[in-house]
Structure 1
Amino acid sequence: MASETASPTVNSPSSTPTQAPVEKPSTPPVNILPSPTARIYSLVHPALLLTLCTLRFEALVADPIRELLADLPWLAFLQITYVLICLPPAGTTPTEASFPAPTDGEDKKKTPPRSPSGPGVTLRPGKPGLRRKQLAGKHDFAGVWAKLMPAFLSLSLTFLLATPILAVLLVLFGAPLTTHNPETVLCAAHIALLCATALVYVHGVDGYVWKEVWGISRPADAVWGSALGTGLGAWFGAIPIPLDWDRPWQAFPITILVGAYIGYAVGSLLSRTPLLYGKRIQFTPVEDEEGEKKTN
């Protein structure tokens, strides 16, 4: 009897070794919307940003604060246009974003009510063509509003949250603390618009996704690639500032902004190639991670 009572104790859940908590699966990489307009503009958009940076470079060197303020609305407009045309809003798939699901009104329109007296007689004949146009207009408005609302929310969160955070990061990475404060804030606003607008638009406020963003562990796509490219470009752009070349364009934050714009364009395009799309940055070899799990 002792052996019979011991076996269920060994197999009981309390005595089994503790298993590692199941991690939440990562969200897949974001695809550009399948419409031809979205695919074409996703390639044109980086070129437009580089053109804006090139055309206004001399004015930026002459008066950085004034030029940064003047270019900020144009950059915001281009970024909002990009997310509206090319990206699915948070909580949707590319197919749903391109073709909104029919509402209850449309389902009822497809199956009109029948009268009890005859199967082929409708209760309210009216003007079916007019009703179809009205319902189509409602669907179009709902689809546009479903994309406009996340776009304006992403723009608001970019200015209210991302800009102060990036301004602090610029100071921590060597930007002047007691001087050039307007330049620091405006530079942070430009970088925030480049890297955070699309991230907020497609991912919302999903905490797990943002942990991946801050941990640099997102799978490569057009959105994450452009954000990572912006950060790396700004970091490399700071290299010429302390050099003793005595050039006017070395003043803070000109080279940082130019590097951010170039990094955005390069990251947005390269991350969509088969070589990088869906890949992650690995800081620890996979074999080492598997070995650590086995030992634990």
Structure 2
Amino acid sequence: MASPPPSPLTTNSAASAPPDTSNKPAAPPVNILPTQLATTYSYIHPAALLSAFAARFPALVNDPVSEMAQQLPFLALAHVAYVMICLPAAGTDSATTTAAATPTSPSTPTAAATSSASSATTTTTGSTTNGNVILRPGRVGRRRTKDSSSSSSSTASAIRGRVVASLLSLTLTTLLATPVLSILLILFGAPFTTHHAQTVLCAAHMAILSSLALVYVHGVDGNVWKEVWGAKRPGDVVWGGALGTCVGAWLGAVPVPLDWDRPWQAYPITLLTGAYVGFVLGSVLGRSVLFGKRVRFEEGEDVKKVD
């Protein structure tokens, strides 16, 4: 017996069903700004951080508290410059930011079209030697010169916006991320009654490495931060650096309890070393092989997959 034809109501309801957005991230992966300066500095910054840390490692072993306190302002300054140059601020698009930061030159199509139209108008209406043009027979008007103040003001406004956003991100990172990471370090085994300065300074370094760029790019978007705490963000240079910092610090705690009796095993030298190395590796992997991929937790199974 032939089956009855499908009901039009069922067909229409199935066709009008909204697409499944459960696997769609709250915000797309973050790209480095498409400028030559941003691309170049995005490679220089991690290498410079790791080189400076390696150069100051003997001083860190001799006096961890003093060395971490002295290097913290330089780390903050370098990372603020990194986010300003290489990353789009929260609420802006990379293309818009690049266009605002780059003044229009005569070689661009818009400027070329404007220039050709202006020259055609001048040729049609005729000109005089003193800079006046004949707008209509019997009337002489002054030629309008295109002022470049609008482009310079937009560039200054874009730079000012980046500076304000980076300073606000640094403030939120210092006030919020540092205490949270200090508590997490203690929960993961850091000394609770001693080594308070070491814990806070290590957390401050980790906060700048992991959280400053996240706050600068995503602001206070609650959906994005839910993905951050749930480790569900798609891979990019920002999330890769943050995740690499935390995983590197966690792996860096492995040598601390071993009975090797080495001076560099003292807390928190190995944790800080792992955080710096993890930041560099996470940033490189996040912008290359892991870009756009994220860990997917399957329901009902203790299985993690990388999409």
Quote the residue 1:38 is aligned against. 38
Residues 279, 23 of structure 1: alpha-carbon distance in 2 compared, 3 angstrom cutoff:
closer
Q: Which has the higher strand share?
A: 2
Q: Using the TM superposition, give the Cα deviation of residue 25 of structure 1 relative to its aligned residue in structure 2, in angstroms.
A: 4.2
Q: Read off the aligned partner of 2:251 and give its amino acid letter.
A: F
Q: Is the 8 A contact 2:101 2:158 kept in 1?
A: no
Q: Using the TM superposition, give the Cα deviation of residue 20 of structure 1 relative to its aligned residue in structure 2, in angstroms.
A: 12
Quote the residue 1:152 is aligned against. 167
Q: What aligned pairs does 1:136-285 form with structure 2 within 5 A after superposition?
A: 136-273=151-288, 275-284=289-298
TM-score normalised per structure 1: 0.79
Unaligned runs of 5+ residues in structure 2 are 1-8, 11-17, 103-113, 115-133
Q: Using the TM superposition, give the Cα deviation of residue 143 of structure 1 relative to its aligned residue in structure 2, in angstroms.
A: 1.1
Q: Using the TM superposition, give the Cα deviation of residue 123 of structure 1 relative to its aligned residue in structure 2, in angstroms.
A: 8.4
Look up the SS of the partner of 2:207 in the other structure.
helix
Q: Is the 8 A contact 2:101 2:159 kept in 1?
A: no
Q: Read off the aligned partner of 2:239 and give its amino acid letter.
A: W
- How many residue pairs align between the two structures? 260
Residues 22, 222 of structure 1: alpha-carbon distance in 2 compared, 3 angstrom cutoff:
closer
Q: Read off the aligned partner of 2:62 and give its amino acid letter.
A: A
Q: Read off the aligned partner of 2:291 and give its amino acid letter.
A: Y
Instruction: Tell me the distance in 1 between the aligned counterparts of 2:255 and 2:155.
Output: 50
Look up the SS of the partner of 1:41 in the other structure.
helix
Residues 60, 287 of structure 1: alpha-carbon distance in 2 compared, 3 angstrom cutoff:
closer
Unaligned runs of 5+ residues in structure 1 are 1-9, 12-18, 103-109, 111-116, 290-296
Quote the residue 1:15 is aligned against. none
Instruction: Tell me the distance in 2 between the aligned counterparts of 1:20 and 1:241.
Output: 50
Residues 22, 226 of structure 1: alpha-carbon distance in 2 compared, 3 angstrom cutoff:
closer
Instruction: Tell me the distance in 2 between the aligned counterparts of 1:244 and 1:176.
Output: 18
Q: Using the TM superposition, give the Cα deviation of residue 276 of structure 1 relative to its aligned residue in structure 2, in angstroms.
A: 1.4
Q: Using the TM superposition, give the Cα deviation of residue 37 of structure 1 relative to its aligned residue in structure 2, in angstroms.
A: 1.2
Quote the residue 1:77 is aligned against. 77
TM-score normalised per structure 2: 0.77
Q: Read off the aligned partner of 1:183 and give its amino acid letter.
A: Q
Is residue 2:34 matched to residue 1:49? no
Give identity over the alignment, percent: 51
Look up the SS of the partner of 1:282 in the other structure.
strand
Q: Structure 1 stretch 280-289 or stretch 79-88: which is displaced more? A: 280-289
Name the Cα RMSD after superposition: 3.2
Instruction: Tell me the distance in 2 between the aligned counterparts of 1:246 and 1:122.
Output: 91
Look up the SS of the partner of 1:164 in the other structure.
helix
Q: Read off the aligned partner of 2:269 and give its amino acid letter.
A: I
